[in-house]
Chain A
Amino acid sequence: MTYIVKPKNHHPNLERNELGLTRRDYEGAISTLCAGCGHDSISAAIIDACFQLSIPSYQVAKLSGIGCSSKAPAYFLNQSHGFNSVHGRMPSIATGANVANHELLYLGVSGDGDSASIGIGQFIHAARRQPNMIYIVENNGTYGLTKGQFSATNDLESKSKYGEDNLFPAIDLCGMAIQLGASFVARGFSGDKDQLVPLLKAAINHKGFCLLDIISPCVTFNNHNTSTKSYDHIREHNESVSRPDFVPLGKEITAEYSEGENIDVALHDGSILSLEKLSDDYNPLDKKSALENLIKSEKEGKVTTGLLYIDPNAKDLKETINMTDKPLNKLEDGDLCPGNKYISSLNDKLR
């Protein structure tokens, strides 16, 4: 058997959250990804965010497509149901699952091949339909699982490990998502957990479609010195637009900022996302400025990270299609079947 079960011996002094659970209770099977793969750091950040927010794992559904990145859901949140679907089609599975039961937290995990190539149609339509979900792209600029072909997010100037030129320009999923109507768009870096965990926590509490495009270096195929998705390149060129701090409902904001330097965004459940501005023209509440900043930093060869855009009041899919509050999968026979009375009146109409 190729499945490895992690031994579960809890240290008595491990930190516990409001559910009395330790961080280890949020782990999954032992990862089979390459040592140092960015994807594993993202799994770790997801574990941290869920642990810190005391999310009951069984209320989470993990969904993915195909790729090294799409394997990741097996490596966190063991008590959650998971659905590893087919290449590029996670968004449709997520959308269907979402309308079946809107009460769960939907964590979609995809790769740049999965989302920017084979699945770009589904990515686009999920962003515009806005199912209430977190859509994570573990973006390494390459097809890890099929051994290092260029992906559509690989920068034009970024050569392959074997020195081949990349002939086509990169797709910027964040810019696309903002234009398409996604209501929460952020870029992160697997190597910057301090930024990633608060972004994830904010996304968990945001209602609507959250895109987290996370640069996640592939140590095996795209971490060489002519790659723009290597650890070194990202560390050098990463420009964070804000320092996010997620403040759960009922907690006070403790960080001190001088006036005009931070933006507090109230999320739909009353929790607060506090953003310390690191750039003057940063305004994540304004679509136009969010897009302009992206274009500007691209020109300057910078990798902008942080929360790029948020619309805290956007309608999600459930609202748009006027779905009932009771999850569809909990409706009972009486809610569903109109019975014989209607059938006989219909028969009369059809004569």
Chain B
Amino acid sequence: MSKIESINEFVIKFANVNGSGSASANQMFAKGVFRSGIPVSPKNIFPSNIQGLPTWFEVRVSEKGYLGRKDGIDIFVAMNPQSYYQDLQELNSGGYFIYDSSWERKFDREDVNVLGIPLVKLCLEFPNLKQRLLFKNLVYVGALSFMLGIDKEIYIKLIEEQFKGKEKLIAPNIRALEIGFEYAKENLEDACDIRVKKSNKTDGLILTSGNDAAGLGSVYGGATVCAWYPITPSTSMAESFTKYCEDLRIDPETGKNNFAIIQAEDELAAVGMAIGANWNGARAFTATSGPGISLMGEFIGLAYFSEVPLVIFNIQRGGPSTGMPTRTQQSDILACAFASHGDTKHVLLFPSDPKECFDFAVEAFDLADQLQTPVFFMSDLDLGMNDWSTPEFEWDDSRIINRGKVLNYEDLENMDTEYGRYNDVDGDGIPYRTYPGTHPSKGAYFNRGTSHDAFARYTEDGKIHAEVLLRLSKKYQTASKILPGPKFNQDKNTSSMGVIYFGSTDVSMQEALDSMTEEGIAIDAMRIRSFPFNLEVWEFIEDHDLLFIVEQNRDGQMRTLIMAEGGIIPDKLVSILCFDGQPITADFISTKIISHLSGKPEAALIGGTS
């Protein structure tokens, strides 16, 4: 029988039952590979359920650094009989199917290698059932450690780190690991031809999730108020902020909090609190996902029109409606760009990896203050909840918080003209604000969502209303000049074709670009990082005759934005769309592009799965 051979390039997938304690063992497996110096991208594929339903954990191991999802599994650790059949189908020919042979089974695929390990039987030495079920997860980690050649000491160290403070648990966990290791050594010596060989490709990398990074970034960005309502996949972002605040923001002398975190009664209240706090000069944010964005609509318009800074972390999931709460998509682009009634347009940021989640979280608070408007941080479930091998965080201690145009007591005291909250003094569309309580007789104003003049006074004068709307457009132009610009794959454009993409698609895109280069297809690439689009975005579009736009939604929402904002003719922009809730793959992208270039009808480009 054929056996897949590979060193440091493979995909391993674990099938478990939700709530069986497998998650931390699987995580540990991935971290062991990472510590061996090979980049990994673990992905949790979980149901919207707490206990009992099937759940998967997929780890792509790639020394080349290709960390996007890849179809076809090389090793399956199948721990859930419920999903055996389905799991077996996903395995590549010559792949390895590891299952718990305490209950022997026959599997009807001849072209794969079935490897039984009697996990539960091996765990009989542990006193109770609960422990046996839990430790069986470590037994397979131990077996994998032997079979793939991952240094066992790495796992022992990981166990010690994980159970620091709960020392009693260290010995039995190590024991479980050893049981698996020894079993594989005796019974599965040459069973597997996939190997992990130590490398140095993780130098300068860390393993963390976008939500964790964004929570940390919010601390570094000076946020003090978080108001939120639980919703997958954004919950862990608020939790991350909470964790870092508890570590870093409790006053050592008084034991009191230099922050306020409020779990609101719903998303309306959450965003209202964030707006109230920002209006009052404390940096505040909310974290949510699609359904929350829909609820926040009215308040977002208020913040836009009355020019209150606001940061909204939107960790996108599969819509519409409740959709697929535990799957990924980039399908709120238009809903966020134009959130709320009336003429509104909002600033969007598109981070592509956890490092950028950190950087953009910090940046989002400066931008919201500088522009005095809502800023949407557009992450997604894949980027937010999964650990990524990402460049390590960096911080420049000379960086200071940029609070934008805020007048303090002295500024007001020295002012000889009348203060007007919405006076465009500098001609960039951005007026000056004051915090309540600044000066006894100057600087007060009435923040309102009703139409107002330059002095924040109520007006029904249509001319004044139109002027305010035009000024907000001007502010929007200013925004496009200070937002993070696009990233290009090339120093200079060399092709008449280009590809545009954004957010978490980046990892798969890099791989797709390499494979297309190998096939002799030259294509320039641009990653959009913000909206409103900067000049460089338009130049790139101008410079190419044909552009592919890769998105993880059905309707080509980014394409719509580009067409609407730039008056670009639709024929020039070809959509490549993945919207089945799975992270987009490199194969999907390159196959679609190549099939388009080979003259296949455009309709072929639209589809959920590859």
Contacts and interface: CB of A to CB of B under 8 A. Distances in A.
Contact of A324 (B35, B251, B446): B251
B272 A81 contact: no
Interface stretch (B12-20, B388-396, B423-431, B539-547): B388-396
Contacts of A57: 440, 444
Contacts of B216: 346
A311 to B, nearest CB: 22
Nearest to A343: B395
B222 A337 contact: yes
B272 A100 contact: no
Contact of B460 (A2, A78, A84, A324): A2
Contacts, number: 232
Interface string B289-321: 000000000110010000000000000000000
Given A96-B275, A328-B224, A339-B397, A122 B265 contact: yes
Contacts of A29: 457
Given A86-B302, A95-B273, A324 B256 contact: yes
Interface stretch (B111-119, B189-197, B201-209, B600-608): B201-209
Interface stretch (B277-285, B550-558, B566-574): B277-285
A336 B251 CA distance: 11
Given A81-B444, A84-B449, A104 B259 contact: no
A340 interface: yes
The residue among B219, B434, B447 with the most chain A CB atoms within 10 A of its own CB is B447
A103 B437 contact: yes
The residue among B219, B269, B434, B441 with the most chain A CB atoms within 10 A of its own CB is B269
B282 A99 contact: yes
A74 B445 CA distance: 10
A124 B271 CA distance: 17
A333 B400 contact: yes
Contacts of B262: 95, 99, 129, 321
A82 B222 contact: no
Contacts of A101: 280-282, 435-437
A160 B271 CA distance: 36
Contacts of A121: 265-266, 269
A77 B259 CA distance: 30
A329 interface: yes
Contacts of A122: 265, 268-269, 272
A97 B275 CA distance: 8
Contacts of B258: 324, 326, 328, 331, 335-336
The residue among B224, B251, B264, B449 with the most chain A CB atoms within 10 A of its own CB is B224
B250 to A, nearest CB: 9
A165 to B, nearest CB: 32
B248 A338 contact: yes
Contact of B459 (A1, A89, A340): A1
A97 B207 contact: no
B276 interface: yes
B273 A92 contact: yes
Contact of B280 (A73, A97, A338): A97
The residue among B219, B393, B446 with the most chain A CB atoms within 10 A of its own CB is B446
B450 interface: yes
Interface string B438-463: 11110011111110010001111100
Contact of A81 (B256, B275, B277, B445): B445
A9 interface: no
Contact of A350 (B206, B251, B259, B448): B206
Given A96-B225, A125-B269, A351-B35, A61 B280 contact: yes
Nearest to A350: B206
A91 B265 CA distance: 11
How many chain B residues sit at the interface, stated as a range, is 35 or more
Interface residues of A, number: 63
Contacts of B460: 2
Contacts of A211: none
B259 to A, nearest CB: 7
A34 interface: no
Given A100-B277, A333-B401, A338 B260 contact: no
Contacts of B598: none
A56 interface: yes
A351 B222 CA distance: 26
The residue among B258, B444, B453, B464 with the most chain A CB atoms within 10 A of its own CB is B444
Contacts of B25: none
A338 B219 contact: yes
Contact of B276 (A83, A327, A342): A83
Contacts of A83: 276, 279, 446-448
Contact of B254 (A89, A104, A324, A342): A324
Interface string A312-351: 0000000001111111110101011111101100110011
B227 interface: yes
The residue among A73, A84, A103 with the most chain B CB atoms within 10 A of its own CB is A84
B264 A92 contact: yes
A98 B262 CA distance: 12
Nearest to B299: A86
Interface string B27-46: 00000001100000000000
Given A83-B279, A93-B275, A350-B207, A323 B392 contact: no
Nearest to B270: A92
A59 interface: yes
B374 to A, nearest CB: 14
A104 B445 CA distance: 16
Contacts of B457: 1, 3, 29
A347 B464 CA distance: 52
Nearest to A124: B265
Contacts of B507: none
Contacts of B225: 96, 99-100, 328
B503 to A, nearest CB: 22
A323 B401 contact: no
Contacts of A310: none
Contacts of B278: 96, 100
Nearest to A99: B260
Contacts of A346: 216, 393
A29 to B, nearest CB: 8
B347 to A, nearest CB: 20
B220 interface: yes
Given A323-B257, A346-B393, A347-B392, A94 B453 contact: no
A168 interface: no
Given A61-B280, A61-B436, A328-B282, A92 B269 contact: yes
Given A92-B276, A103-B437, A336-B222, 12 more contacts: A1-B453, A1-B457, A1-B459, A58-B439, A59-B437, A85-B299, A86-B449, A96-B272, A100-B279, A333-B222, A340-B395, A347-B393
Counting from the closest, the 6 A-B pairs by CB-CB distance are: A96-B276, A92-B272, A100-B282, A96-B273, A81-B436, A329-B281
Interface of A: 1-3, 29, 56-59, 61, 63, 73-74, 78-86, 89, 91-101, 103-104, 121-122, 124-125, 129, 321-329, 331, 333, 335-340, 342-343, 346-347, 350-351
